[in-house]
Copies of this chain bind each other. A is one copy, B any other.
Amino acid sequence: MPYTAELIAVGTELLLGNIANTDAQMLSKGLSALGIHVYYHTVVGDNPERLRAAVEIARRRADILITTGGLGPTCDDLTKTVLAQCFGKELVYNSEAEERCRAFFQSIGREMTDNNHQQFYLPEGATVFQNDWGTAPGCGFEAEGVRVLMLPGPPRECTAMFQHRAVPYLQGLSDGVIVSRTLKLFGIGESGMESLLREKMNAMHNPTLAPYAKEGECELRITAKAESESAARALIAPVEEELRALFGDKIYGADLSSLEEAVLALLKEKGLTMGSAESCTGGLIAKRITDLPGSSAVFRGGVVSYATQVKHTVLGVPEELLEQYGAVSEPVARAMAEGARRVLGCDLAVSTTGVAGPDSDERGNPVGLVYVALATSEGTHVRKLHAGTGRERVRTAAAHNAFDLVRRYCAGLAL
């Protein structure tokens, strides 16, 4: 029997909608990699009674209980107190935690205020998860057949403490491994993809197949459980092969976080450099590729030519083109990409020009109309999109298509 875990996030800011529960996402990924099933996430506010009620329900359903949040210095941070009560533990002072906290404040050039002290009290007998990334230590203990872990709420601290403290603590527990492989698709919709796969998915048990649609992209997640990772991978391989035969070059990669990650790898492989000229995407393409460590090896830079005049002065788009066809046009997209390639001195350059909304442009071009171009040593290709409505949706679709053009060019596929 594999272990089951439940996550309880503590924080009124989650119930007020100030933030999304991204810790639960990160922990769920990590736990499934350990072969631990997560069946429920719960969010409660900074309220002792309701937290206690959530713990009482969760401890009956799960082997492992992981809380996030409520460990910090502010007066509404009460997770340790409530969990200690629920499991009949005293809180004891941990001096190492205090020393590390002082050191942390020095490193960011701030004074440690007194309200930080409550953080250093932890349940008796607990394994302390020291916090090298912030102030509040976490911990793990076993009581009444349940393993309880407490992690800090701030996503950076929660992630680091999970990876460096909680994972080693949990590794002993799991039997067998769950391995997932996620195929990433671009250029097909969820229901279209799923209608091709429904019968197959229903028939499958190990591995299982799950489709998932993200703004403008699709994923197919193959998940297998076995004694060892290699045995699980052996179950996955034939399914992946079938899917690749079925979807062909709509599949742009496996276990990649994004199209730009595929693009970065291809550019490195081919020894090509890239640049961008962005109008409607306003820097999103450059931002997305430079989010990736190592992008400086292939990305030379970009021009965000938001004002029409900048398209002429910086990118050298002829004024006649801008006057005759308007900024949102096939010829201008072409000239922008070619200008960026010349100005930035890169092997290939992408450009975007379109109407992100909320309003149509002065020439009456509708929201969602976007031209995306790729200029290379072999010529320039322009793709015309109707990206629907919604500023973010249009910008995301335009950036996706720019990366898709680069990927297809580097992989020698039809544009």
Q: Is A221 part of the binding interface, using a Cβ–Cβ cutoff of 8 Å?
A: yes
Asked whether B290 lies within 8 Å of A287 as measured between CB atoms, the reply is no
User: With the chains together, A22 CA to B191 CA distance in Å?
Assistant: 22
Q: A316 CB to closest chain B CB, in angstroms?
A: 12
Q: Is A205 part of the binding interface, using a Cβ–Cβ cutoff of 8 Å?
A: no
Within 8 A of B (CB), among A162-214: 180, 182, 189-192, 194-195, 198, 201-202, 210-214
Asked whether B41 lies within 8 Å of A14 as measured between CB atoms, the reply is yes
User: With the chains together, A326 CA to B96 CA distance in Å?
Assistant: 41
Per-residue B-contact encoding for A345-375, CB less than 8 Å = 1, 0 else: 1000000000001100000000000000000
Asked whether B296 lies within 8 Å of A287 as measured between CB atoms, the reply is no
**What are 21 pairs between A and B in contact, CB < 8 Å?**
A13-B210, A16-B29, A17-B25, A19-B212, A39-B47, A40-B44, A40-B54, A42-B43, A73-B191, A109-B386, A113-B191, A113-B195, A278-B286, A282-B289, A283-B284, A286-B306, A291-B392, A295-B306, A300-B310, A301-B314, A303-B314
Per-residue B-contact encoding for A134-148, CB less than 8 Å = 1, 0 else: 010000000000000
Q: Is A384 part of the binding interface, using a Cβ–Cβ cutoff of 8 Å?
A: no
4 closest Cβ pairs, A-B complex: A282-B290, A283-B286, A17-B29, A17-B28
Task: Chain B residues near A13: list those with CB within 8 A.
Answer: 210, 212, 221
Asked whether B304 lies within 8 Å of A302 as measured between CB atoms, the reply is yes
Asked whether A27 lies within 8 Å of B32 as measured between CB atoms, the reply is no
Partner of A194, one of B73, B110, B180: B73
Asked whether A221 lies within 8 Å of B304 as measured between CB atoms, the reply is no
Q: What's the number of copies of this chain in the assembled complex?
A: 2
Q: Is A293 part of the binding interface, using a Cβ–Cβ cutoff of 8 Å?
A: yes
Task: Chain B residues near A15: list those with CB within 8 A.
Answer: 28, 38-41
Partner of A180, one of B14, B16, B28, B282: B16
A301-B303 contact given A191-B116, A343-B314, CB 8 Å threshold: yes
Partner of A213, one of B154, B285, B391: B154
Task: Chain B residues near A18: list those with CB within 8 A.
Answer: 25, 182, 212, 219, 221
A28-B54 contact given A44-B39, A156-B390, CB 8 Å threshold: no
Per-residue B-contact encoding for A373-384, CB less than 8 Å = 1, 0 else: 000000000000
Q: Is A276 part of the binding interface, using a Cβ–Cβ cutoff of 8 Å?
A: yes
User: With the chains together, A156 CA to B390 CA distance in Å?
Assistant: 9
Q: Is A115 part of the binding interface, using a Cβ–Cβ cutoff of 8 Å?
A: yes
Asked whether A43 lies within 8 Å of B44 as measured between CB atoms, the reply is no
